[in-house]
Structure 1
Amino acid sequence: MNALPATAPHPAPAAEPPSAPSSGPLAGAVAAEWTKLWSVRSTWWTMLSAALLTAASAGQLAIYVANDNTNDDPADDPGIVTVGSIVIDSLELTQYAVLALGLLAITAEFSTGTLRTTLRCTPSRGRVLLTKAAVTATVTFVLGLLLGGVAALVATPVLGRWGDAPLGGTIRDVAASAAYLALVGVLALGLGAVLRSPVLTLIVLLAVLMIVPLSLQEADITVLTRIADGFPGVAGGHFLAGDADPYPPVVGLLLLAGWAAAALAAGRAALRRRDA
């Protein structure tokens, strides 16, 4: 019998190379915004300015407390104050450095024209603004925690026996300060998307956060004071102070968050209506 011809074995199918992990369009956009934020010098200079302002403000406020308690006029003695209150009060100046971080996240791209490239890579205006807001909120919240720590470290030795630093209360005040800075950072981002100019955006932020509500409160008319209580800076102040009047702290937080959300919505509408 003739042997059947040997058949060549079929080659094993080549193994397919593993596919590259897909992060998804939203995650990719977040990664791009994260890279852009940290690749510009303004971010680092703004953070350094915020740290220096915080240290200077906290130190000055602590000196005022110590001096008032040791001068010859007992009528102005504040007594023992918490370190957390110094942390919160130092935000009055520090917040404007953090606001610059939020508004520059988008106005810088308008100024240089790089927003056109951003929109070509991510055509959805809403997604662009959402990812910028997510990155801005994350960075400013973490920065707020660090700044709160700086303020506490500076104020504690300066206050000396006139300061009290309960752990729970101090952590709460530092975390609340970080949440406040994150929300005003997003507010600055949204207004920057609407106004496009860093100078104009900063002027409007100054008006909304401080000038207009202070003007309304100066009149000492109940109706105007209640209107001022609805502005973001005043609402944030009630949240930070833990006031029960005119509304609970959580209402102040929600009002501030509402302003930030409204600014983002306005920014999205402006981006969709006008070319970059």
Structure 2
Amino acid sequence: MTATTDGRLPDASAGGGPGSTATGGRLPGAVAAEWTKAWTVRSTWWNLLGAAVLMGLACLQLAIYTVHANDNDDPADDKGVVGAGTIAIGAVDLVQFVLIGLAMLLITSEYSTGAIRATLQWIPRRGEMLAAKTLVAAVIGGLAGTVLAAAGSLAALPLLGHWGEFEFPTWLGDVLAVGLYMAVISVFSLGVGALLRSAVGTLIVIFLVVLVVPASLQASGVTAMERAADFMPAVAGAAFMRGESDSYPPALGLLVLAAWAAAAIAAAHVALRRRDA
């Protein structure tokens, strides 16, 4: 290795030798690396395809159900005229688990294959590695959620017929709300995955926290438990997207969901600093 003119060896982190160019490092470089990894594995594309198919089918089913409920002889289940965006919001209950799986795999797949060791060699600052994965999970989840909500709601609109309503500002707000929810729940999933390191364990915990526990609390008939369910992540997210909660305004629902995501990332960061890869 040749010394520089002032007698020092060239900095390897800056490119190393003659003709080399620094391509970035620290957090921007870590984000670029994680973004590239995310899009060069088949699981990302399969998850997105699965989410697209599920969103389409769920939106079409909800549209058909809405028309049937309005046209039958039982006035008790009438839905009335519904906004196109609310159809996509209704489909989130199913579709979210596909994108949750995608966010989780960004970290758990590396633990299962041992690739996490290489990742930490290239990004030795564990906080930066986690921050990079968090940003990538949020962007992919948010973009996928927004695009799928837009496509699914527009596909369902013809089936709704005169029972469907399309007002662009309202529709756009609903679609963006779905995207924001998907971004934050993806961050929560990544945090749980980094904390547990196991894909199976992460799926079980998220399924319990997102679906089973809130449903059990809401069905308990105990007022305190029903109120506690309002502060579970998916319930808070639904309150944010639908704006129909009696417990708090939509903005607070988003803050509750964000608090769950922040807590998961914080716990994952502590765990990453204290244990071996």
The answer to whether TM tops 0.5 is yes
Q: Give the Cα–Cα distance (whole angstroms) in 2 for the partners of residues 28 and 78 of structure 1.
A: 50
Aligned residue in 2 for 1:242: 243
Superposition pairs of residues 137-216 of structure 1, within 5 angstroms: 137-216=138-217
Q: Give the Cα–Cα distance (whole angstroms) in 1 for the partners of residues 198 and 152 of structure 2.
A: 31
Q: Deviations over 1:8-62 (max 9, x none)?
A: xxxxxxxxx8873552311111110001100100000000000000000000000
Superposition pairs of residues 229-268 of structure 1, within 5 angstroms: 229-243=230-244, 245-268=246-269
Q: Give the Cα–Cα distance (whole angstroms) in 2 for the partners of residues 233 and 74 of structure 1.
A: 30
How far 1:227 moved relative to its partner?
Answer: 1.0
Aligned residue in 1 for 2:9: none
Q: Deviations over 1:235-275 (max 9, x none)?
A: 11111111352011111101101100110111111111221
Aligned residue in 2 for 1:24: 25
> What amino acid is the match of 1:168?
P
How far 1:174 moved relative to its partner?
Answer: 0.3
> What amino acid is the match of 1:71?
N
Q: Give the Cα–Cα distance (whole angstroms) in 1 for the partners of residues 230 and 175 of structure 2.
A: 23
How far 1:101 moved relative to its partner?
Answer: 0.7
Aligned residue in 2 for 1:114: 115
What's the TM-score once normalised by structure 1's chain length?
0.91
Aligned residue in 2 for 1:14: none
Aligned residue in 2 for 1:68: 69
Q: Deviations over 1:143-186 (max 9, x none)?
A: 11110112112210110111001100000000000000001101
> What amino acid is the match of 1:20?
T
Q: Give the Cα–Cα distance (whole angstroms) in 1 for the partners of residues 195 and 22 of structure 2.
A: 36
Q: Give the Cα–Cα distance (whole angstroms) in 2 for the partners of residues 125 and 54 of structure 1.
A: 35
How far 1:69 moved relative to its partner?
Answer: 1.4
Aligned residue in 1 for 2:11: none
Q: Deviations over 1:37-96 (max 9, x none)?
A: 001000000000000000000000000011111122233221111111111000010000
| 1:116/1:210 CA distance change after superposition, 3 Å | same
| 1:21/1:116 CA distance change after superposition, 3 Å | closer
> What amino acid is the match of 1:25?
R
Determine helix, strand or coil for the equivalent of 1:90: helix
Determine helix, strand or coil for the equivalent of 2:248: coil
- Gap regions ≥5 residues in structure 1: 1-16
Aligned residue in 2 for 1:11: none
Determine helix, strand or coil for the equivalent of 2:132: helix
Aligned Cα RMSD in Å? 1.3
Determine helix, strand or coil for the equivalent of 2:24: coil
What's the TM-score once normalised by structure 2's chain length?
0.91
How many pairs does the alignment contain?
260
Aligned residue in 2 for 1:98: 99
Determine helix, strand or coil for the equivalent of 1:184: helix
Q: Give the Cα–Cα distance (whole angstroms) in 1 for the partners of residues 52 and 23 of structure 2.
A: 38
Aligned residue in 1 for 2:219: 218
Q: Give the Cα–Cα distance (whole angstroms) in 2 for the partners of residues 147 and 275 of structure 1.
A: 38
Q: State yes or no: 1:87 paired with 2:88.
A: yes
Identity of aligned residues (%): 49
Q: Which has the larger radius of gyration?
A: 1
